[in-house]
Amino acid sequence: MKTRLISLLLAFSMALTFLPVGAVSAFAAETGSNELDLTPNTGVTITETATYDLLPSKNAQGHLVIDAPGSTVTLNLKGSITIQSLSTYFIQVKQGTLVFNGGDYKIDFNSTAKGLIQIQSGATAIIESGNFEGNEEIINNAGNAVLNGSGHYCTSNTTANTYVVYTSGGSTLTINDGYFYSEANHVIYGANHNKIVINDGTFITEAWNKSTLNLYGSGEAEIHGGTFKSMSSGRVLGTCGVVTIEEQNGKSILFEGEGTQTLVAIIARKGTTLNFKSGTVKSPKSAAIGGEGGETINITGGTIRDSLYGVIVRYNPTAVNVGGNVVFENNVNDIYLNKKDHGIDQRVTITDDYKGTASVGFAEPDENLPVTTLTNGESYQKDLKLTSVDPNYIIGYKQNEDGSEYRYLEKRTGYFVNVVSGTASIDGGVTALPSTTQIQDGRQVNLSAAPAQDGLEFEQWAVSPASALPALTSTGFDLTASETSFRMPAQDITLTAQYRPSAPAIDDASADASVDPAISTAVTIIGGALLVGGLHQLGTELWLIHHLPKGTAIPETRIELAEVLWKDAGQPAPAAEAAYTDIDTDDTDAQQAAQWAIENELMTLRSSEHPDKFDPHVPVSTVKAIRAWKKAQQMKPSTK
């Protein structure tokens, strides 16, 4: 009897080893439960639409197979699971759709296992949440995988071909969020002919000589958000096929290559078309973006910063196109032209819609070395703001008889003055100088602002770099004059004419016109564009610092301005006795300064209805202070 009971139990156990969905459903109905416990070494197959609770286990040895054409199977993880050694994937989706809700629970691999979830061709898996850790693949996708929520996907296996997510030919992979980490390999590996869309998430690899995202073959990838880091090799994204990087839906993109190696952060392999439209790339020890040969790289936006090379051109002399709104920040070389490839000079194509500035470095600098590709009939390259990283060279401009043009390396013999919304000439001439003209330091330069558009008037010049302003003003440069001159400093400079709205109420107002503290940020128009703060405030403050008596603070209120003007004039007595009710009667200096400034029309009362009030603590702008100061200086010869 005992032997027969054991035989029956063994038979029942073997029957459970691979239960089809009918058996699972019937078993669940008999027990009144839709719970699955994969602790036993059993294989469970589900073949129809159903919802199951996956029970926690510290020693799971079973596995699931979803083989449910046209059906959706939902699994809800009810506790953490530790998987023991398996010869197959913990969950296999052969047909149908799996919806997996892991919550905050974790599934990990206690020892060697095949992997967590496999999606076969034609099947779909939607992972809503969960924490997955192991030493094998988390996701192996040949079908359609969608990863939502804020799940964690982490692997630590040091063996080859073990990735957090592997997506093969013909598959689609959509990642909407999550944290993905690999200790020793690529995080995402995409094989031939797949479609990958990443909308958000964090992706990090610590692997030596591995990419965070490694995309091979002729597939298509779209990256619309996320943070991507390589903590060792510096290689963040290796691309093939067509790859588009563009921030969407309010998400930001950051590619960051760190570590001790010097691999290019975003590398475009042979046959790749890389479209970088927005986002940020940084690679302190190498290039942010580059190619391996036979690629096309289109950079039309985004920010490339904090890199040894922002964009490197190598192997393919006409591969890189830079334009649009791309911004270069704090790079050693914004663009770097590598050595010749098979005797052909490297060149960069810069499109006519690029209005920014870029520094260009060279592996083999030489006079007359081409910098940009030849363009025909558009005549825009002369206005490109390109500078040479090598101080012995400048980037010159050449236009051929047929109208084609390009930029090239030229020995430095002087310095550039780039004028925005205006013209520069030398030696009293009236012909405007091209921005590519080299001017010897110490030579006189005449500067004229462009005529103001209707409704505008010239306000001042903005100087870049700001550190050049003292050298300019010491040689006669007037920051607030639309026509002025200076001696060329020993550095390249940019001078930008700034304009402001003109209106009688503003034009006729005196230097002390009140400024609402809530809107005290300077408003300036440059080349027809409205700007706020920034260079305007910096430029006017530097002007005052240079012209006011040494040690004099920039006046910020009406009474401070009046006292600066009065003291500079020698503290003259006003014609009438001062008696402003809002100034302390014992403060005779303040009373006299205010009265003298009013009498000499350097300032006016804010209200004619209250002639006894000076409003001493109302703020004044730096531009108003400059006007009052200049008018006071003009008074001096007539009062001697």
Q: What is the pLDDT of residues 306-365, one digit of tens each?
A: 999 999 999 877 899 999 999 999 999 999 999 888 788 899 999 999 999 999 999 999
What is d(CA 200, CA 248) in angstroms, rounded to the nearest whole number? 10
- For residues 475-483, average pLDDT: 93
Identify the residue with better confidence: 458 or 158.
458
* Exposed/middle/buried for residue 575 (C-beta within 10 Å: 0-12, 13-18, 19+): exposed
Q: Among 241-255, 495-509, 584-598, which range has the highest average pLDDT? A: 241-255
Helices (H) and strands (E) in the chain, counts: 8, 48
What is d(CA 143, CA 581) in angstroms, rounded to the nearest whole number? 84
Residue 4 has pLDDT above 70, yes or no: no
Strand residues in 300-443 grouped as ranges (E): 303-305, 309-313, 320-322, 327-329, 333-337, 349-350, 357-362, 385-388, 393-399, 405-411, 417-420, 422-426
Among residues of the chain, what percentage have pLDDT more than 90? 59
Q: What is the DSSP letter of 508?
A: T
User: What pLDDT was estimated at residue 16?
Assistant: 42
What is d(CA 212, CA 255) in angstroms, rounded to the nearest whole number? 10
What is d(CA 617, CA 583) in angstroms, rounded to the nearest whole number? 10
Q: What is the DSSP letter of 389?
A: S
Q: What is the pLDDT of residues 562-613, one digit of tens each?
A: 999 999 999 999 999 888 899 988 899 999 999 999 999 999 888 888 888 9
Residue 208 has pLDDT above 60, yes or no: yes
For 601-612, b/e burial (b = at least 16 CB within 10 A) is ebbebbeeeeee
Q: Where are the alpha helices (DSSP H) in 569-611?
A: 588-599
The CA angle 496-498-501, to the nearest 5 degrees, is: 165
User: What pLDDT was estimated at residue 189?
Assistant: 94
The CA angle 452-455-458, to the nearest 5 degrees, is: 35
User: What pLDDT was estimated at residue 112?
Assistant: 61
H/E element, 6: helix 2-17
CB proximity list for 408: less than 8 A, separation 6 or greater: 368, 369, 370, 371, 395, 396, 397, 398
171 is written with which tokens? 């598959």
95-99, 163-167, 175-179, 379-383: least confidently modelled range: 379-383
162-176, 292-306, 540-554: least confidently modelled range: 540-554
What is d(CA 468, CA 272) in angstroms, rounded to the nearest whole number? 44
CA distances from 476 to 414, 446, 473, 626 (A): 20, 11, 5, 16
**Cβ neighbours, 10 Å, residue 14:** 10
User: What pLDDT was estimated at residue 436?
Assistant: 73
